[in-house]
Chains A and B, each alone.
Chain A
């Protein structure tokens, strides 16, 4: 069993950024907004978190900066798509291109800088338990936060009044508007939440997963997070299953490369992307299940008729 523990630990680190970004995007999409800028918001979170953490020598401030950077970028998206009713697909793509560009400029001076990873939150006594200890009680704060967010979002969407409003806005914005529900405000908040979560996912990458900054280090994780939302069919807990499935694939292909199996490393590296395609195909083939929770107004701009 000696090999299983480090394997599980690395799977958790590979899955957490995906889970963080996916749960945020899930909320945004439930409000009827498809934000394809996850990759851009994630990379901005990664670079800003790293820069602030290095400058202040404080990982916590770095995490905050990552979330703020993601939210800040998502605000551009919100102004354009919600207030100006622009095409969401094109705006999201622009957000990703813009985020990658800005992150390269900000991160220019931070390439090659080293930093120790975020501290683990050890629980005295429990962390020393064999096997279970390090896996369950020896993680850093963002890992616990990712699970807390899933539970929080589940409760919010199912049980809270605001969550009901959010779903109503996502399923039929005209009816929601007629009922006097705040369509614009709900979408703004959902987009900002999604941006902050994507920023946290990026912060986790640069502060804990690697922990250093390189250009385009998100390497498509934002896009995989988008696929995870479809995989989860817009139900929060299923995002955990999806994120950990992809985290496992990522780690297993690393280990297979390390074990020196005669398969080209590039082929192994492409496995997470191929797996994403496969999963999307399977999900979309099961039409009834996929459709049950799809927000009906997803991707449609809202302009109040008077």
Chain B
């Protein structure tokens, strides 16, 4: 007896909705087994990772704050992945957004004007957009593989940030610590409620998800992106320029990653540091897939991933587990979601040893 895949006549609608749910369930089971092996009560482990982050108002706000960059980046990546463009350098585009926006914020210093913040945000978007333009142009002009170029540029961006906060952008009054000065008050994203953790960047993420949820199914651009991804030949006959579309999705996703980057340093951190991301750009890839490349799905997926980040910190403190356990869970989740996705297009058939077919 063996398992075989059999192509379904059409996509299974049930499985489209069900597959992320099954994947999450399987991840929890795998997590419980891991906790057992580590000698931790599974219920306590799962509670710490996935429930405790939403039990207090403070940590629930933190979940939203950490989910925002994930959602912003994943929304952009979902366009790329739908068009079969593999931008995996979002971490670098996020970093460049933080660098360019942060640089402008520092240049403004304490200069006060309502125009400072929009200028800083635009600079952040431009930073991510320009960094994404490099692999996009290399792909459209030279047919260079965008997976490798966008990833290599991530390493370059991280080194650039490290250089800047230890060199030109270091706070002169900062006792030689590798960090920039704090941004001036008018370059900081305002909080939504006084004293709270939520800032305007959170609204960007959720607002944009809603806009895209309406725009993707109804606009020509959304249709073109899907066509190019699913039926490249049909798209060519229809005259949808492939190169233009590669540039478009790359620049949009780069700009959104840049917006996430500047929102993080301006809203959450308040200055430039050598490390400004726990791997948002990479985790957003999982978020995009877990959310079925669908804007609303991405919001839920971003929240789940964010919970696992915060839960990872809680588990480090309470259970003494290494912080990387959260990454292991994220990896599991992506494996399971990919495996479950197969069930959308294929049926599993249990075959008796073939006698005659």
- Which A residues are within 8 Å of any B CB, using their own CB? 36, 76, 80, 83-87, 89-91, 93-95, 97-105, 108, 215, 219-220, 223, 226-227, 230, 264, 266-267, 269-270, 273-274, 276-277, 280-281, 284-285, 287, 303-306
Would A270 and B144 count as touching, CB distance under 8 A? Answer: no
Offer 26 A-B interface pairs, CB within 8 angstroms, sorted by A.
A76-B335, A84-B338, A84-B339, A84-B342, A86-B339, A87-B341, A89-B86, A90-B289, A93-B282, A94-B331, A95-B331, A98-B335, A101-B327, A104-B324, A227-B148, A264-B163, A266-B160, A269-B159, A270-B160, A276-B148, A280-B138, A280-B145, A280-B148, A281-B149, A284-B143, A284-B145
Q: CA–CA, A86 to B156, complex, Å?
A: 31
Would A101 and B324 count as touching, CB distance under 8 A? Answer: yes
Contact partner of A85 (CB less than 8 A), chosen from B143, B155, B325, B346, is B346
Would A267 and B148 count as touching, CB distance under 8 A? Answer: no
Number of A-B residue pairs having CB atoms within 8 Å of each other in the complex: 139
Q: CA–CA, A86 to B23, complex, Å?
A: 14
Task: Tell me whether B332 is interfacial, beta carbon within 8 Å.
Answer: yes
A91 to chain B, nearest CB (A): 5
Q: CA–CA, A305 to B338, complex, Å?
A: 21
Please name all residues of chain A whose beta carbon is closer than 8 Å to the beta carbon of B153 when the two chains form the complex: 273, 277
Would B327 and A104 count as touching, CB distance under 8 A? Answer: yes
A220 touching B167 in the complex, CB below 8 Å, given contacts A80-B338, A90-B334, A101-B325: no
Main secondary structure of the interface of A (DSSP, over half): helix
B2 to chain A, nearest CB (A): 10
Q: CA–CA, A202 to B4, complex, Å?
A: 35
Q: CA–CA, A83 to B143, complex, Å?
A: 30
Would B152 and A220 count as touching, CB distance under 8 A? Answer: yes
Proximity bits, B272-311, A CB within 8 Å = 1, else 0: 0000000000110110010000000000000000000000
Nearest A residue (CB) for B345: A85
A273 touching B152 in the complex, CB below 8 Å, given contacts A104-B323, A105-B328: yes
Q: Which of A99, A104, A230, A267 has the most CB of B within 10 A?
A: A104
Task: Tell me whether B330 is interfacial, beta carbon within 8 Å.
Answer: yes
Task: Tell me whether B237 is interfacial, beta carbon within 8 Å.
Answer: no
Contact partner of B335 (CB less than 8 A), chosen from A94, A100, A108, A220, is A94
Would A280 and B327 count as touching, CB distance under 8 A? Answer: no
Would B148 and A80 count as touching, CB distance under 8 A? Answer: no
Per the 8 Å Cβ criterion, residues 138-180 of B in contact with A are 138, 142-145, 147-149, 151-153, 155-156, 159-160, 162-163, 167
Main secondary structure of the interface of B (DSSP, over half): helix
Contact partner of B338 (CB less than 8 A), chosen from A87, A105, A219, A274, is A87
Q: CA–CA, A55 to B157, complex, Å?
A: 38
Task: Tell me whether B5 is interfacial, beta carbon within 8 Å.
Answer: yes
Nearest A residue (CB) for B166: A266
Task: Tell me whether B88 is interfacial, beta carbon within 8 Å.
Answer: yes
A285 touching B142 in the complex, CB below 8 Å, given contacts A98-B335, A266-B160: yes
Nearest B residue (CB) for A88: B338
Would A264 and B5 count as touching, CB distance under 8 A? Answer: no
Q: CA–CA, A276 to B357, complex, Å?
A: 50
Q: CA–CA, A304 to B151, complex, Å?
A: 33
Please name all residues of chain A whose beta carbon is closer than 8 Å to the beta carbon of B156 when the two chains form the complex: 270, 273-274
Contact partner of B143 (CB less than 8 A), chosen from A76, A270, A287, is A287
Please name all residues of chain B whose beta carbon is closer than 8 Å to the beta carbon of A230 when the two chains form the complex: 145, 148
Proximity bits, B254-273, A CB within 8 Å = 1, else 0: 00000000000000000000
Q: CA–CA, A101 to B332, complex, Å?
A: 10
Would B338 and A277 count as touching, CB distance under 8 A? Answer: no
Would B3 and A105 count as touching, CB distance under 8 A? Answer: no
Q: CA–CA, A277 to B153, complex, Å?
A: 8
Please name all residues of chain A whose beta carbon is closer than 8 Å to the beta carbon of B151 when the two chains form the complex: 220, 223
A168 to chain B, nearest CB (A): 22
Proximity bits, B328-357, A CB within 8 Å = 1, else 0: 111110110011011000100000000001
